[in-house]
Amino acid sequence: MIETIYIEEEIEDHPRTGEICRRFPQARLIPCRHYGEIFNRKNQNFRLQKVQPALILAKKFKNFVLDAPAGYGIGGTCNYYFSHMLNCIYDCRYCFLQGMYRSANYVVFVNYEDFTDAIIKKINDNINCKSFFFSGYDCDSLALEPVTRFADNYLPIFRRYPDACIELRTKSTQIRSLLKIDPLPNCVIAFSFTPEEISNALEHGTPSIDKRLAAMVKLQKHGWKLGLRFDPLIYQDNYDEIYERLFNIIFSKIAAENLHSVSLGTLRFPETYFQNIIRLYPDERLFTGSFERKQGMRTYNSHIEQSMLQYCKTRLSHYVPAQILFPCEHAA
């Protein structure tokens, strides 16, 4: 799977570097001074690299925990995100990462202890406010779990601080580590979905909807709190039919009372990312149709956006109470 691993010289001897490298005994190991030498260089092609991304092991020095973008939340007062990894092993054509990063290589920051210290500090600094931490913003939280052991390393913090919450957002079925431990009441395992037609066309390399649901059912039985994410909602001319079908399938397997939250938002990109993605994928139908620019963002036109949001909100409210339904404010 991974043929090349770049390793920052500073973390060459970090125990986690060794653990990760041992999982890929055939990979070529290339030392580098700073991950930016590879990841941030100009003149790279994300699309070409996505065919065979390399892994970059690095150390993060600052900005471990950041404020979540406005409107990004599922009931918490203080919303933060952190990224132990940049980029995703999946290749979803609607993902903003392909427009944000120059490289498709995966960066894993191995100094987890610095992240967890920063999370604890943030919790202590905001003792009077319910802190919510999102981990799946710049990557899929669990997709590379056997390699990164992210959940194993980060969840114990939240067991110690039950007033703070964490969301692991994923499309993956890498849940073995979660089934080995007692569920945390302050942890939400949130699965992202699009209807099957859209998933087949746009979510390359992801587990099927059935497999994601099977993983959710196992987690549900084990007692984990679950989340559903319909973000982004993707338009096609019969969106009502295909989303209706998707909701039926999901709620035939997942008990609504086990859900912590359901969130939804329509497709949106910062304008510069949108232009980058179109340059990479001029042949992609997703970016045709009626898009418009709004405050530096590229979104579906207001009519489509509002119709889809309204339709999906109405349909979802048949299954779940309004208190756990969170439309993304930006798109609403």
Partner 1 sequence: MIHIVAALQCEARPLIQYYRMKGKASRGPFRIYEGDELRLIITGIGKLSAAAATAYMHSVYGYKQNCAWLNIGIAGHADKPVGEGTLIHKITDAGSGKSWYPPPLIKVPCLTDSLMTVDRAEYKFSTPDIYDMEASGFYAAACRFSTAEIIHCYKVISDNRIQPAQITSEHIVEQLISNNIMTVNEIISQLYRLHSRLHTIDSTPEDLERFFVSWRFSSYEKNHLRQLLKRLTVLLPDENIWNDSLARSSTGKEVLTYLQRRIDNLPVRFSHQQND
Distance CA 310, CA 131 (A): 29
Choices 135-143, 199-207, 214-222, 310-318 (CB under 8 A): range interacting with partner 1: 199-207
Residue with tokens 């938002």: 265
CA 150 from centroid of its chain's CA atoms: 13
Q: How many residues bind partner 1 (CB under 8 A)?
A: 47
Q: Which of 30, 129, 179, 255 is in the footprint of partner 1 by CB under 8 A?
A: 30
Q: Which two tokens stand for residue 256?
A: 């609504």
* 211 contributes a contact to partner 1 by CB under 8 A: no
* 237 contributes a contact to partner 1 by CB under 8 A: yes
* 289 contributes a contact to partner 1 by CB under 8 A: yes
* 214 contributes a contact to partner 1 by CB under 8 A: no
Q: Which of 14, 21, 23, 32 is in the footprint of partner 1 by CB under 8 A?
A: 32
* 1 contributes a contact to partner 1 by CB under 8 A: no
Hey, is 236 helix, strand or coil? coil
CB of 73 to partner 1, least distance (A): 30
CB of 312 to partner 1, least distance (A): 17
- 117 or 196, CB closer to partner 1? 196
* 238 contributes a contact to partner 1 by CB under 8 A: yes
Residues 6+ apart with CB under 8 A from 69: 330
Q: What is the CA radius of gyration of the chain?
A: 20
Touching partner 1, residues 108-137 (CB under 8 A): none
Q: Which long-range contacts (CB under 8 A, 24 or more apart) does 13-21 make?
A: 14/57, 14/59, 14/110, 14/111, 16/110, 16/112, 17/57, 17/110, 19/149, 20/55, 20/57, 20/108, 20/110, 20/147, 20/148, 21/57
Q: How many CA atoms lie within 13 A of 45 on its CB side?
A: 7
Q: Could you list the residues that contact partner 1 (CB under 8 A)?
A: 3-4, 6, 28, 30-33, 37-38, 41-45, 47-49, 51-52, 54, 91, 197-198, 200-202, 204-205, 234-238, 278-283, 285-291
